[in-house]
Structure 1
Amino acid sequence: MSASNEIDDFASLLRRYRLAAGLSQEELAEKAGLSSDAVAALERGRRRAPRPLTVRLLATALNLSDTDFAVFTESLRRSPTVYAPQVQGPPLPSDTMIGRASELAELSSLLSHGGVRLVTLTGLGGVGKTRLAVAVANEVRPQFEAGICWAPLAARPDGPEVTDAVAAAVGLRPASDAGAEVDALAEHIGSRQLLVVLDNCEHVVETCAWLCTVLLQRCPRLTILATSRELLRAPGEVVRQVQPLAVPPSRAEPEEIREADAVRMFLARAAAHGVHPRDDRLLQVSRVCRSVHGIPLAIELAAARVNVLTIEQIADELDSSSRILSGGSRTAPLRQQTIDAALDWSYQLLSAEEREFFEAVSTFSGGWTLTAAVTVFCTEQTDACHERVLDLTGRLIDKSLILVDRDAAEARYSMFSVIRQYADRRLDDGGRRTIIEQRHLRYYVELAERAERAVGTDQQAATLDHLDLELDNLRVALGRAISRELGAESMRMAAALWRYFYLRGHYSEGRDWLESALRIAQAGPDPVAPAALAGASRGAGYLAFLQCEYDVAAERLEQALALYRRLDDAAGAALTLRHLGSIARERADYDAALQLHVESLHLYQQLGDKSGIAWARHYLGFVSWLRMDLDGARDYSQAALTHFQQAGDGEGITWSQLNLGAVALYAGDFTTAERLLHQSLGRAQRLGYREGVGWSLNQLGVVARRQGRLERAIHLLDESLAEHQELGDRWRSASVLEALASVAQDHENTAYAAFLLGAAAAVRDTIGAPAPLCERPDNEHTIKAVRDALGERAFAHAWGAGQATPLHAVADGYPPDTLSTLDTPW
């Protein structure tokens, strides 16, 4: 023990007389008829008021002369009756604590006035538990009249040494055994009002729990504050999870970024290296802080790299690996000099089974459920294994290695990325990566296929939300299947997910996955089931259609149709015919579109597929209002709506309301149109169905323009354009540009109207699709009015500027410098 006490005269004399007599403590105890612990306690000053009989027995055993005996007893009378220990206080902080104001206030109140006697600060390594404990101890010092005692336990490998550390903190020296030490501790603390801080308990958690229980039972005014990566689970324990520092949102303004605690820490540590990032670098600082989730140790280590890397380089490195998080303070404990060292400390405390589970769940990305963990970890999914996984999950949560989110009906688990990367590397060390990732892939293939069956039912909204949660895992699983050229798994999964990617507006991503899967299947040695090949071709073709790549889309869909017909799969053929009809519709080949949708309808009728029949009628209604057959459109759409409402098909209801709203719009019934289109917009927003949102906004903008509400029309059409442009739907983007041109002309901003018309024409030329028949009268009227107002030369100039401007720039409100009247379009 490192601590030392001022030893009183009696203790000094006893030791001097014993040594002069040539006796050990045990021999003196035996001669005096006392316990060796009693002799040790007297010599070390822990026992201050021995009974007169004890003094006489010692004097006799030591064979003291009358003179020595008189000195001996006189020294006892001079000894202080109240012992003022030299306690070990908390370490002095080397810098100002950043953030934590609310935690500090709560913990101070809890320890001072809350009636709580044992508080454990828990959290992952490097999150700042010790630093917060120091601040709390200093804050509450006036409330504890006997003082604050700080017991660092990081270097204590076993139980007896933990007890020694606490003894040293309260001003005692170790006894000969742990039991006597605890008795001495309890006797020494007694009824004094004292706060003991046990720092870094996780590796001796059982000893700490036992010691806290004993001392709190025997010392009525003792309070204990512990820091530990694992809960003590002692009686009366109140746990507070120390969270990482707050990070700014991804699109925060510079002021908001600077105010975030994580950023403040990074800037302070970077300044210590002489680096002071300007405001234009704050976004990169924010990236760094979000990459490390605001973990203080990781921020410190990242900031230490500013002497050799730019902040952007640090952020880029952290996107893929946490290996650069090293090079901490030389004076810090080894476990705090790198992130890996911090995690090594936690990893070494795990049992063999806990390590295996920790490594296995690192294969997940974006979190997981208990069921998913059972599938990935267990060879067989039995009740016994489910119990094991539940227990292991709880243990790793207690050890601050797994996070749990209980906000939804089903708990979801995750890891901070630095921990996940560490566990993933350990998975390599264990040689179990292949089998674990195979199980992960199998689980998510099956999940995707179950989800595909639920889309289009009353479970669609919940299914899409669940796929949103699992999107990172789905992407990882697909990526693994494709990188390993697993044709069957790639095909099954990509084909099962294409409708999800469509409904959520991830057209490019879904199409990329499908095309990669098709490429592997066609090049691979193993044959792929024709049904899977047809499904993937159909999905890829439809997503290409949504991005207005009509030739590519038609080629893929024709391939799918041929496969379905060869398989005698009428349902697959009917759906593919529907998609081919959509291509014809956007190319304004309405006769071909109607013929294809009618053929699709007949197949569905032969199958007795009520949902398919409703969708065929919807598309017949869609084509009908585009070609201004309003009566036919109304009949088809109303029939489809009736079925969709009965089936609870949210996507179908949205489209039927859109169709009926458009019929009312072109019939001049703006009140009905606005009501129906607001309903479709609200439903599409609730479903997260982006195409439905874009279309509803588009049609509402046209309604507002025809009502003369130009400002509202601008707002609605701008939002619609942004939505369609992000989706990649150039056909609809062109229509929205033309509608905006009509509004600009109504606003008497004729040059800008001509610019928009030119931009729309360029889009239509690129995709090879004219304006829908129902929209042409408005467009022709606008073009004539703008040309008449500007004159041919100015009109050609503005039109040409629009044609030369990329769609994304137009959508961002780009005004060409050469047209001074366009500097403020509205």
Structure 2
Amino acid sequence: MTLPANEWADSCVCFGPFRLYPQQRVLLEHGQPVRLGSRAFDILATLIAHAGTTVAKSDLLARVWPDTVVEEANLRVHVAALRKALRDGAGRRYIDSVAGRGYTFVAPVTDGTPAEPAATSSTTSCSTLPGCPAPPAGPLIGRADDVAAVVRQLTTHRLVTLVGTGGVGKTALALTAARQVAAWMPCCCADLATAADPGAVTAALAAALGLPPSPEPLAPLLARLRAHPLLLLLDNCEHVVEAVAALAERLLQEAPRLSILATSREALRAADERVMPLAPLDCPGPETSGAALLAAPAVALFLYRAGIDADVLNDADAAAVAQICRRVDGIPLALELAAGRLDLFHVRELAARLDDPLHLLKGGRRTAPPRHRSWRASLAWSWATLTPVEETVLRRLATLRGEFGLAAASRLAADGMVDAADVDDAVAALHAKSLLAARHTEAGLRCRLVAGAREYALALAGCASDGGPVRCAVARPGLPIPARAPLPRGGKRITTRTA
């Protein structure tokens, strides 16, 4: 027997007090996550997909261990673990063994989401919270696995932070994940981009929850958060990251049923934080062509935003689209801005002009936040979080084209202006703030500035003298230098992580 694909893979399946979300690989009992190993989960999902019929042991082994030959004893062990997690026994029966054949899921199964448990009554449902997250505009192309991963993390961790460079799609991904979590837990979203200073963070959270203005908003905020389970989405934390980290720890300590999903261009570095780096969309390689090129997520997003049917692209135009995607590193915001310029440029002309991304990538959606209306504005938002030493190091690294090693970065950045001992910390900070990508190779760590960061840093170096040797002919008169972040870094050592 060949098991067909699960037709209900995107829905919720209910049995007894349990709800199974197959795509997110989440099992809930009375709204609380049940810990299951991946093999046990696959067995449960397969049995439920064929509820009422006996699934042969050989078919279960082929489904759960598709590329591995294992003994039948392994299957028995995982079925036993599954029965224990479901508390399958007297008065509560879910899985029957059929001697010599296989297993049958015998409990009634229904599709859809049941009513919320009493602890999450309609008085605190997502639909009644002022800050209930709205779905993002447009489809999330190429992010299904990332959404599922975030939802899974939220079932076992109370503080999850999505980290990535500006414009990579953290907000859209977090909103989508929060809407899925809202099936079993009320959600509320607070956009901290409007928090002018660290002291405004608590007030912004209180306002998102619909609390009246107060000179001391922490007490009523804690009272509200203690009352019911809640997922709190803290969006755009990078410019007040230290204040958010301290507040998140306090809230999680005093509100045991609270979970937090944060988005930031750098990790909060708070206690028990689960950091999930969000990479740009995959781009086709220089030699990729045909269906493989069009299947790349970055290409699919660009064509969708540009309103281009892939069937009408000739080989030269398809190659130009792939070049555009690689030039902007597959960053969704840059792809959207580039697609918006096709009203003026042919796709091949656009690809040829992307050596000047700061001038070209602008004119974003009118409804987008200001930092997302141009590529320069997005980079300025990140630049404002840098310390003076980090600014100097970044401007000097911008003179290096392509990838470079830490030794080359240290030699260049420590030339007279920066103490050599501070260079590694500054490079690590630039990586933590999603301005520097890094990868491990046999020859050691290789780094490069993210798309647009080099051009932005060189332009600033040509406008503002810091006494260093760096100058650039691409600088434009009048290019503003953004204000520095209100909170200085504490000088703590930061460990570099591979992007």
Q: Does 1:91 align with 2:125?
A: no
Give the equivalent residue in structure 2 for 1:249.
Answer: 285
Aligned partner of 2:190 in structure 1 is 151
What is the one-letter code of the residue matched to 2:408?
Answer: A
Amino acid at match of 2:154: L
Q: Which residue of 1 aligns with 2:162?
A: 121
Cα deviation per residue 1:390-432 (whole Å; 9 max; x = unaligned)?
1111211111111122343532221123111111111212336
CA separation of 1:352 and 1:433: change in aligned 2, threshold 3 A: closer
The residue number in structure 1 matching 2:307 is 271
Q: Counterpart in 2 of 1:399?
A: 433
Instruction: Please list, as runs of the form range in 1=range in 2, the aligned pairs for 1:196-211 lying within 5 A after superposition.
Output: 196-211=232-247
Q: 2:168 aligned with 1:137, yes or no?
A: no
Residue 378 of structure 2 aligns with an amino acid whose one-letter code is A
* Residue type of the alignment partner of 2:209: V
Separation (CA, whole Å) in 2 of partners of 1:303 and 1:433: 39
After superposition, the Cα gap between the structure-2 partners of 1:399 and 1:194, relative to the gap in structure 1 and judged at 3 Å, is: same
- Summarize the Cα distance change of 1:338–1:279 in structure 2 as closer, same or farther, 3 Å threshold: same
Match of 2:213 in 1: 174
Distance 1:298 1:175, change over 3 A: same
Deviation of residue 319 (structure 1)?
A: 3.6
- SS at structure 1 position matched to 2:435: coil
**Preserved contact between residue 404 and residue 448 of structure 2 (Cα < 8 Å):** yes
Q: Distance in 1 between matches of 2:291 and 2:443?
A: 37
CA contact (8 A) 2:410 2:423 kept: yes
- Match of 2:193, SS? coil
Is residue 362–residue 373 contact of structure 2 (8 Å, CA) maintained in 1?
yes
The AA in structure 1 aligned to 2:452 is V
Q: Secondary structure at the match of 2:461?
A: helix
Match of 1:105 among 144, 148, 151: 148
Determine the structure 1 residue equivalent to 2:296. Answer: 260
**Partners of 1:225 and 1:258 in 2: CA distance:** 33
In the alignment, which residue of structure 1 is the partner of 2:375?
A: 339
What is the root-mean-square deviation in Å for CA atoms of aligned residues? 2.3
d(CA) in 2 for partners of 1:292, 1:415? 12
1:239 partnered with 2:275: yes
Which deviations, in whole Å up to 9, do the C-alpha atoms of 1:626-673 show, x marking residues without a partner?
xxxxxxxxxxxxxxxxxxxxxxxxxxxxxxxxxxxxxxxxxxxxxxxx
> CA offsets per residue over residues 568-594 of structure 1, 9 Å max, x none?
xxxxxxxxxxxxxxxxxxxxxxxxxxx
Q: Does the 8 A contact of 2:135 with 2:179 survive in 1?
A: no
Contact preservation (8 Å) 1:427, 1:433: no
**1:743-758 alignment runs, 5 A limit:** none
For 1:411, what is the secondary structure of its paired residue? strand
The number of aligned residues is 347
Distance 2:279 2:398 in 1: 21
User: Which residue of structure 2 lines up, in the alignment, with residue 297 of structure 1?
Assistant: 333
Q: Distance in 2 between matches of 1:304 and 1:276?
A: 20
Which of 184, 189, 200 is matched with 1:161 structurally?
200
| Aligned-partner Cα distance in 1 for 2:289–2:447 | 31
Whole-angstrom CA distance in 1 between matches of 2:177 and 2:194: 23
Correspondence 1:324 to 2:360: yes
Residue pairs, 1:585-596, within 5 angstroms? none
The structural deviation recorded for 1:93 is 2.0
Residue 160 of structure 1: how far off its partner (Å): 3.2
The Cα offsets for residues 714-746 of structure 1, whole Å up to 9 and x where unpaired, read as xxxxxxxxxxxxxxxxxxxxxxxxxxxxxxxxx
Could you tell me which of 395, 399, 402 is aligned with 1:359? 395
1:416-469 CA distances to partner (integer Å, 9 max, x unpaired)?
23111111111212336972489xxxxxxxxxxxxxxxxxxxxxxxxxxxxxxx
Per the alignment, in what secondary structure is the counterpart of residue 220 of structure 1? coil
Alpha-carbon deviations, 1:773-807, whole Å to 9, x = none? Answer: xxxxxxxxxxxxxxxxxxxxxxxxxxxxxxxxxxx
Q: Evaluate the alpha carbon distance shift between residue 377 and residue 192 of structure 1 in structure 2; reply closer, same or farther with a 3 A threshold.
A: same
Residues 41-76 of structure 1 show CA distances to partners (whole Å, capped at 9, x for unaligned) of xxxxxxxxxxxxxxxxxxxxxxxxxxxxxxxxxxxx
SS in 2 for 1:239: strand
Partner of 1:467: none
CA deviation after TM superposition for structure 1 residue 385, in Å: 2.4
Q: Report the structure, 1 or 2, having the larger helix content.
A: 1
Q: Distance in 2 between matches of 1:432 and 1:307?
A: 40
1:658 aligns to what? none
**Structure 2 contact 135–176 (Cα < 8 Å) conserved:** no
Q: State TM-score, norm by structure 1.
A: 0.40
Which is higher, the Rg of structure 1 or of structure 2?
1
Paired amino acid for 2:421 = E
Could you tell me how far 1:299 is from its partner in structure 2? 0.4
The runs of 5 or more residues in structure 2 that have no matched partner are 1-120, 473-499
Partner SS for 2:469: helix
Q: Structure 1: how far apart are the matches of 2:312 and 2:258?
A: 47
- Pair 1:389-2:391 in alignment: no
More contact order relative to length (CA 8 Å, sep ≥ 6): 2
- Aligned partner of residue 323 in structure 1, secondary structure: helix
Per the alignment, do residues 404 and 332 of structure 1 end up closer, same or farther by CA in structure 2, a change over 3 Å counting?
Answer: same
1:254/1:279 contact within 8 Å kept = no
Matches within 5 A, 1:745-784: none
The reply on whether 1:423 has 2:464 as its aligned counterpart is no
The separation in 1 between residues aligned to 2:201 and 2:175, in whole angstroms, is: 19
Give deviations 1:347-367, integer Å, cap 9, x for gaps.
122222221111111111122
d(CA) in 1 for partners of 2:223 and 2:443? 50
Contact 2:267 2:432 in 1 (8 A): yes
Query: What is the DSSP-based 3-state SS (H/G/I as helix, E as strand, rest coil) of the residue aligned with 1:150?
Result: strand
SS in 1 for 2:360: coil
Q: CA deviation at 1:315?
A: 0.3
Over residues 584-617 of structure 1, what are the superposed CA-to-partner deviations in whole Å (9 max), with x where a residue is unaligned? Answer: xxxxxxxxxxxxxxxxxxxxxxxxxxxxxxxxxx
Equivalent runs, 1:29-108 vs 2, <5 Å: 84-85=123-124, 86-87=128-129, 88-108=131-151
Distance 1:169 1:155 in 2: 12
How far apart are the structure 2 equivalents of 1:245 and 1:275? 18
Identity of paired residues, percent? 37
Q: Which amino acid aligns with 1:386?
A: A
Q: Deviations over 1:685-724 (max 9, x none)?
A: xxxxxxxxxxxxxxxxxxxxxxxxxxxxxxxxxxxxxxxx
Structure 1 residues 122 and 213, CA gap change in structure 2 (3 angstroms): same
Distance across 2 between alignment mates of 1:432 and 1:317: 30
Alignment deviations for residues 225-281 of structure 1 (CA, whole Å, 9 cap, x no partner): 000112111111111111111111111122111111111111111118x99852332
Q: Deviations over 1:82-109 (max 9, x none)?
A: 9935412112322111111111111111
Cα deviation code 1:363-387 (max 9, x no counterpart): 1112222222221122359xx9232
Q: Using the alignment, how far apart are the partners of 1:217 and 1:199 within structure 2?
A: 20
Structure 1 residue 321: deviation in Å? 4.1
- 1:185 deviates by 1.5
The change in CA–CA distance for 1:249 and 1:275 in structure 2 (over 3 A counts) is closer
Contact 1:191 1:220 in 2 (8 A): no
* Secondary structure, counterpart of 1:243 in structure 2: coil
**Equivalent position to 1:223, from 255, 259, 283:** 259
Cα displacement (A) at 1:322? 4.0
State whether residues 462 and 471 of structure 2, in contact with CA within 8 Å, keep that contact through their aligned partners in structure 1. no
